[in-house]
Structure 1
Amino acid sequence: MAVLSGERLHENMERLLPGARTAALLWQGAALAGGVLLGAGRVYGGAAPFGLALVIGCPPAYCLAAAVGTLAAGVVLQPALLGIKVGVAAVAAATVRRLIDGRPRAGALAGCLTLAAAQLVQILLLGGFVNFSQTAAVGCTALLAAGLGWAFASFPVREPRGVCLWLAVGAACLQRCAVGPLAPGLALASAAGLCAAIGGTLEQTAVLSIALAAALTAAGPERAFAALAVAMGSLAASCLCPGERGRCAGVFAVGCTLGALAAPDAVSVVPLAVSAGVGVTAALALPGSVMRRIFPPPAPPVQAQGLSGAARKLSAVADTLSDIADTVNAVCQRQMPPKGESFDFVVEQVARTTCQSCTRRSRCWVRGYATAMDGLQHLKPVLESKGRVEVQDLPGQLSVCIHPADLCTAANHGYRLWRSRRQTRARASMLRTALTEQYSALAGALAQLAAKLGQAGLPDPRREAKLAQLFAELGLDALECSVTADLAGRLTASVTICRTHFTQEEISGLVEEVSRLCRRDMDLPEITHCRTVTMLTFGEKPLFTAEFGAAGHAAAGQSVSGDALDQFCDTSGRAQMLLCDGMGTGRAAAVDGQMAAKLTAQLLRAGFAAESAARLVNVALGLKGAEQEAGATLDLLTVDLYTGRAGLFKAGAAPSFLVRGGVPRMLDGASLPMGTLDSLVGRSTTFALDAGDWVVLVSDGALADGADWLMQQLQLCARLGHTPKQAAETVADAAARRAGDKRDDITVAVLAVGKVG
């Protein structure tokens, strides 16, 4: 019955899991082969712990097969007495684990006690004679088997620690399988060490090389020089050229050659050369996909993960703000007009306060309802034109009223309330529109910042350490230090130290040292002083340079210009030039222009894109213009000094000009000023710049006589070789002379692109 049940169980297993029986047999065969291989291995002193360790550490289902292999290897390949003792101990450990307790601890206890008992029986049979070398070998075998068995059970082969352990054990056991000049254990150690140097880290290579060298030395002390040579070659390859197959193999060969100098004689070098050659060939033949599977790329550093997390959070915040704006707009658009928005509110006010207590109420509001309503509706144009109504203004339909003065008082009071409600409604609508527009603008700006933050490069720990050491040698310990590379490969180095002031000579010296350490041509740093610290930000020197020039004149009869100009280069390697023209002339226009220019510049320095910055400034000007008219044009030029790409954003601004090869051409785009509409209506243009090109921004006062004469003036300035400052002054002075007493605010700004020498 039991046999039939077992057969049915196997039949059901084969039916449910096709191939399961074959796989189980293959695993049993592998355990048997492993027992034979490990059972043949020995270490210095005659101990043979590997086969017993496999029985102790393997899964209980395979321990009997491993014990049979260990017993066979002990009888055939080990000294007779030691092999029999180890084989019997392995069988005892497997029996206990399979029948009583499957834990490795029970197997280790059974195996070690069996070894001790066998040694004690031998001593008793020999009449108490103790062979100290055999006793020491048996004791070392028991201790090493227990330790290795625990390691086999605790460190699975799928983990790096388990791979290192099994490679070391395999190298030690294969030393017994030498075939002529080929030492398989040494070849395995060479292949594993070179693979670690190519695909792994220096730390992984060091640990693996030391473990393999120790295993080879323990298995065959006469080959200690060879183990040292292989470890030296692996470490040298990992240090000097990690990840490069050909160069790693060359450095490994040189390291093995230097290690061979420690060989006792020339004949001993032959196994090293042959085995190392076989290992190098095997490592170079290993496919890259298998190498990446064995040594997966390391996880991003904590800082990079933090930046990615921050980028995701910013993106989520941007989506939330955008959803809020859309929801508020949708709700307000679907909402019915509130009570009191139409002129019927005034009619109801009169009927409730004057007609409700009148004795003729039924006559006027029942039989004469249409006449009364028509007469009250005729009061609307009078109230809107005069703001109040008198008795003589009452239409003929209301001539029958016996309380005309009270009717006029009620109508005037209701009209004031109605107008107040309308103004409040309009102001609330304006504020709601400004709020939702600000939400949308902030959402777009945050999304752009999140994209930039998500593209931030990984830090460079080696350069960071060198930079921190540089400042430490100067007596300025770095509180924070970072060196990162963006997606284009450009480096940015940031250092935070205690508040310190630098001279120009000291700054130049710092730039030279930082450039030497980073092996890049770094630009002058941006220095920011806070209360107790100083932050220095070094960026790579751009490919292009930017030279600015500007000139201007106030409107005729005015002491203040309504134009506002700002020109600067930010820390991202971009040249920014913005021109704002306040609507009108004088101080009011100057306030709007300066406000728009200052806010835009601050947002640009914070990392906002041109359109996002303009949308936020548009909201600010719109709120300012709630009580009085306000508005300003915006001309914003952004030039990437690394690539020469330029972007021009216009919001109601005058045409701009590009001068290339001494020939100007006009850049124009239809748009509306900021602050005039709830949403911004601007236009963006992109183009490429090269060394020698000019971009000229002007306010509308410089174009009083059109653009043709201005283009001729710019062409003349270019041919005469004027600097941007000279060209701006020449054009501004000429525009002022041509306008005469009708002169408006005039501003001319020039940016000239040059090549870094």
Structure 2
Amino acid sequence: MAVLSGERLHTNMDKLLPGARSAALLWQGAALAGGLALGAGQVYGGAAPFGLALVISCPPAYCLAAAVGTLAAGIVFQPALLGIKLGAAAVAAATVRRLIDERPKAGLLAGCLTLAAAQMVQIILLGGLVNFSQTVTVGCTALLAAGLGCAFAHFPAREPRGVCLWLAAVTACLQRCAVGPLAPGLALAAGAGLCAAIGGTLEQTAVLSIALAAAITASGPTLAFAALAVAMGSLAAACLCPGERWRCAGVFTAGCTVGALAAPDAAGALPLAVSAGVGIAAAMAVPGGVMRKIFPPPAPPVQAQGLSGAARKLASVADTLSDIADTVNAVCQRQMPPKGESFDFVVEQVARTTCQSCTRRNRCWVRGYATAMDGLYHLKPILEGQGRVEVQDLPGQLSVCIHPADLCTAANHGYRLWRSRRQTRARASMLRTALTEQYSALAGALAQLAGKLGQAGLPDPRREAKVAQLFADLGLDALECSVTADLAGRLTASVTICRTHFTQDEVRGLTDEVSRICRRDMDTPEITHCRTVTMLTFGERPLFTVEFGAAAHAASGQPVSGDALDQFCDTGGRAQMLLCDGMGTGRAAAVDGQMAAKLTAQLLRAGFAAESAARLVNVALGLKGAEQEAGATLDLLTVDLYTGRAGLFKAGAAPSFLVRGGVPRMLDGASLPMGVLDSLVGRSTTFALDAGDWVVLVSDGALTDGSDWLMQQLQLCAKLGHTPKQAAETVADAAACRAGEKRDDITVAVLAMGKRA
């Protein structure tokens, strides 16, 4: 019956889990083979702990098979007495784990106590004669087996630490299988170390190399120099050229060659050469896909994950703001005009306050309804023209009214209420439009910032540590320090320290040191002082340089100019030049121009793109001009100093000019100023700049004699070799002289491109 029950159990198991029985048999065979392989291994002094450690740590279902393999290996490969003792200890440990307690600790106690008992029995049988060499070997075997068994149990092979431990054990065991000059354990160590240098990190390579070198040294002290040579080659490859397969192999070979100099003789270097060659060939044959599975790329650092999370949140906020703007516009457009928006409100006010209690109400509003309505609607042009109506202004249709003064009073009051409602409605519509436009502009700007954050590069911890150490050596402990590379590979170093003032010489010295540490040509840092801290931001020095020039004249008879100009380079490696021309002349135009220029510059420095910044400024000018006209043109040039790509955004501005090779050409785009319409109507143009090119922005006052005359002046300045400042002053002075007493505000701004030596 028991046999039938067992057969029925196996049949049901195969039905539920096809192939489960075959898999179980394969695992039993693997445990038996593992016991045979590890049971044959030894370390210096004759200790053989690996087979017993396998029995202690393997799953209980396979410990008997591992014990049988260890017993067979002990009898065949180990000294007779030690092999018998190891076999007895392995069988005892497996029996206890299978029948009494499955935990590794139970097997550890059973195996070690059995080894100790077997040694005591040998001493008793020999009449108390103690063989110190055998006793020490058995004791070391028991201690090492206990330690390795616990390590195997706590660090399974599916974890990197477990892989390192098992590789060390296998390396030590393979040393018993040397064939001529080939040392299999040394070859395995060489291949594994080179694979770690190619696909893993420096830390992984260091730990693996040290563990394998210790295993080789423990199993065969004569190959200690070879183990150190292989470890040195692996570490050198991981330090100098990580991830580069062929260069790693070259550096590894050089490291092993240097290590061979420590060989006791020329013949002793032969095992290193043969084994290292086999290991290199095996490592180079491993496919890249397999290498990536063995050494997966590390997870992004916490800082990069935080930036990605912030980018996702900003993108979500941008989408929400855009949806809010669309919803508000859609709802307001579909609403019916509210009651009180037509002149009927005034008619109803008169009928309710004057005619409702009148004795002639039926005569006027029943039999003479059409006449009364016609007369009241004749009051509309009078009220709109004079703001009020008198008795003598009443039309003939209302001559039958017996209360003309009350009628006029009611009409005047109703008209004032009606006009107030219309003004409130118009103001609410304007504010709603400004609000939704601001939502849309902010949504676009936040989406752009989210894109930039999402493209932020990964930090460089080693350079961060070196930069932080630099400031610590100067007595300025860094509160925060980061060194990151963007998608183009450009480095940015940011350091926050306690509030400190630096001289120009100190700034130059800091820049040189940071450049040396980062091995990049870093530019002078942007220094920002905030209450108690100072922030320094170093960026790579761009390929191109710029030189600015500007000149301006106020309009005739005006103390100030309505034009506003700003020229600067930001920390992102971009040159910005913007020109705003307030509508009109004098102080009012100056207020609009300065307001537009200041807001635009602040938004650009905060990282906003040109169009997003212009849309937000357009909303601000529109709200300012709710009670009076306000507006300003915008001319904005943005140049990427790393690539030379330029973008020109225009909103109602005068034509601009590009001077290349001494020949000017006009850059124009039809558009409207900011603050005029609810939505911005601008135009963007992109083009490439190179060293020697000029871009000239002018206000409309400089075009008194037209664009052809201005291009002739620019061509003459280029031929004479003027600097940007000289060219701007020459053109502005000439335009002011030609305009005479009818001179408008004149501003000329020049940006000249250069290239670093």
The TM-score bracket by the shorter chain reads: over 0.9
Query: Equivalent residue for 2:725?
Result: 725
Structure 1 stretches of 5 or more lacking a match? none
CA distance in 1, matches of 2:710, 2:255: 73
Q: Secondary structure at the match of 2:427?
A: helix
Shift of 1:597: 0.9
Provide closer, same or farther for how the CA distance between residues 11 and 520 of structure 1 changes in structure 2, counting only shifts above 3 A.
same
Q: Which letter maps to 1:576? A: Q
Shift of 1:265: 4.3
Q: Which letter maps to 1:577? A: M
Q: Secondary structure at the match of 2:492?
A: strand
Query: Equivalent residue for 1:24?
Result: 24
Deviations 1:660-690 (A, max 9, x none): 1222111111111100111100000011111
Q: Secondary structure at the match of 1:496?
A: strand
Provide closer, same or farther for how the CA distance between residues 643 and 388 of structure 1 changes in structure 2, counting only shifts above 3 A.
same
Deviations 1:277-319 (A, max 9, x none): 2222212222222222211222222222222222222222222
CA distance in 2, matches of 1:719, 1:144: 88
CA distance in 1, matches of 2:74, 2:601: 84
Query: Equivalent residue for 1:667?
Result: 667
Provide closer, same or farther for how the CA distance between residues 664 and 223 of structure 1 changes in structure 2, counting only shifts above 3 A.
closer
Q: Which letter maps to 2:6? A: G
Q: Structure 1 segments of 4 or more deviating over 4 A?
A: none
CA distance in 1, matches of 2:639, 2:254: 52
Deviations 1:618-666 (A, max 9, x none): 0000000001110111111111122111111010111111111222111
* 1:445 and 2:416 correspond: no
Shift of 1:152: 1.6
CA distance in 1, matches of 2:189, 2:279: 7
* 1:306 and 2:306 correspond: yes
Query: Equivalent residue for 1:142?
Result: 142
Shift of 1:140: 2.8
Query: Equivalent residue for 2:75?
Result: 75
Query: Equivalent residue for 1:676?
Result: 676
CA distance in 2, matches of 1:587, 1:44: 95
* 1:652 and 2:652 correspond: yes
Range with greater deviation from structure 2 (12-21 or 107-116): 12-21
CA distance in 2, matches of 1:279, 1:720: 70
Shift of 1:603: 1.0
Q: Which letter maps to 2:554? A: A
Shift of 1:44: 2.6
Q: Which letter maps to 2:268? A: S
CA distance in 1, matches of 2:356, 2:176: 119
Q: Which letter maps to 2:277? A: G
CA distance in 1, matches of 2:515, 2:97: 66
How does the TM-score come out when normalised to structure 2?
Answer: 0.96
CA distance in 2, matches of 1:153, 1:243: 32
Q: Which letter maps to 1:145? A: A
Range with greater deviation from structure 2 (49-58 or 611-620): 49-58
Q: Which letter maps to 1:755? A: K
Query: Equivalent residue for 2:470?
Result: 470
CA distance in 2, matches of 1:209, 1:541: 40
Range with greater deviation from structure 2 (214-223 or 678-687): 214-223
Residues 680-695 of structure 1 aligned to structure 2 (within 5 Å): 680-695=680-695
Query: Equivalent residue for 1:596?
Result: 596
Shift of 1:542: 1.9
Query: Equivalent residue for 1:328?
Result: 328
Query: Equivalent residue for 1:45?
Result: 45
Provide closer, same or farther for how the CA distance between residues 694 and 232 of structure 1 changes in structure 2, counting only shifts above 3 A.
closer
CA distance in 1, matches of 2:592, 2:431: 19
Provide closer, same or farther for how the CA distance between residues 374 and 497 of structure 1 changes in structure 2, counting only shifts above 3 A.
same
Deviations 1:40-90 (A, max 9, x none): 112233322211211121112221211111111112112222212221222
Q: Which letter maps to 2:609? A: A
CA distance in 2, matches of 1:751, 1:251: 50
Query: Equivalent residue for 1:485?
Result: 485
* 1:752 and 2:746 correspond: no
Structure 2 stretches of 5 or more lacking a match? none
CA distance in 2, matches of 1:138, 1:399: 133
Deviations 1:457-505 (A, max 9, x none): 2222333333333334444443333322222222222333333333333
Residues 136-285 of structure 1 aligned to structure 2 (within 5 Å): 136-285=136-285
* 1:514 and 2:507 correspond: no
Q: Which letter maps to 1:630? A: A
CA distance in 2, matches of 1:576, 1:262: 63
CA distance in 2, matches of 1:659, 1:210: 65
Q: Secondary structure at the match of 1:753?
A: strand
Query: Equivalent residue for 1:91?
Result: 91
Range with greater deviation from structure 2 (483-492 or 602-611): 483-492
Range with greater deviation from structure 2 (418-427 or 620-629): 418-427
Query: Equivalent residue for 1:11?
Result: 11
Range with greater deviation from structure 2 (410-419 or 15-24): 15-24
How does the TM-score come out when normalised to structure 1?
Answer: 0.96
Query: Equivalent residue for 2:557?
Result: 557
Residues 537-556 of structure 1 aligned to structure 2 (within 5 Å): 537-556=537-556
Query: Equivalent residue for 1:317?
Result: 317
CA distance in 2, matches of 1:75, 1:523: 73
CA distance in 1, matches of 2:13, 2:540: 67
Q: Secondary structure at the match of 2:252?
A: helix
CA distance in 1, matches of 2:671, 2:278: 74
CA distance in 2, matches of 1:756, 1:273: 50
Q: Secondary structure at the match of 2:706?
A: coil
Shift of 1:580: 0.9
CA distance in 2, matches of 1:332, 1:106: 79
Q: Which letter maps to 1:374? A: D
Deviations 1:682-731 (A, max 9, x none): 00001111122111111112223322222222222222222222222222
Shift of 1:584: 1.1
CA distance in 2, matches of 1:92, 1:6: 27
Q: Which letter maps to 1:177? A: C
CA distance in 1, matches of 2:643, 2:258: 49
Q: Which letter maps to 1:578? A: L
Q: Give the CA RMSD over aligned residues.
A: 2.1
Q: Secondary structure at the match of 2:147?
A: helix
CA distance in 2, matches of 1:148, 1:135: 20
Query: Equivalent residue for 1:392?
Result: 392
Provide closer, same or farther for how the CA distance between residues 556 and 264 of structure 1 changes in structure 2, counting only shifts above 3 A.
closer
Provide closer, same or farther for how the CA distance between residues 540 and 86 of structure 1 changes in structure 2, counting only shifts above 3 A.
same
CA distance in 2, matches of 1:466, 1:116: 54
Query: Equivalent residue for 2:418?
Result: 418
Query: Equivalent residue for 1:579?
Result: 579
Deviations 1:221-248 (A, max 9, x none): 3333332332233223333333333333
Query: Equivalent residue for 1:700?
Result: 700
Q: Which letter maps to 1:550? A: A
Deviations 1:326-348 (A, max 9, x none): 22222222222222222222222
Query: Equivalent residue for 1:110?
Result: 110
CA distance in 2, matches of 1:351, 1:279: 106
Query: Equivalent residue for 1:372?
Result: 372
CA distance in 2, matches of 1:217, 1:234: 17
CA distance in 1, matches of 2:254, 2:578: 62
Shift of 1:16: 4.3
Range with greater deviation from structure 2 (107-116 or 629-638): 107-116
Provide closer, same or farther for how the CA distance between residues 16 and 655 of structure 1 changes in structure 2, counting only shifts above 3 A.
same
Q: Which letter maps to 1:285? A: A
Q: Which letter maps to 1:683? A: R
CA distance in 1, matches of 2:118, 2:558: 115
Q: Which letter maps to 1:175? A: Q
Q: Which letter maps to 2:724? A: P
Deviations 1:501-526 (A, max 9, x none): 33333333333333333332232322
Q: Secondary structure at the match of 1:180?
A: coil
CA distance in 1, matches of 2:198, 2:496: 37
CA distance in 2, matches of 1:368, 1:335: 35
CA distance in 2, matches of 1:93, 1:451: 61
Q: Which letter maps to 1:131? A: N
Shift of 1:193: 1.7
Provide closer, same or farther for how the CA distance between residues 529 and 276 of structure 1 changes in structure 2, counting only shifts above 3 A.
same
Q: Which letter maps to 2:619? A: V
CA distance in 2, matches of 1:124, 1:391: 142
Q: Secondary structure at the match of 1:389?
A: coil
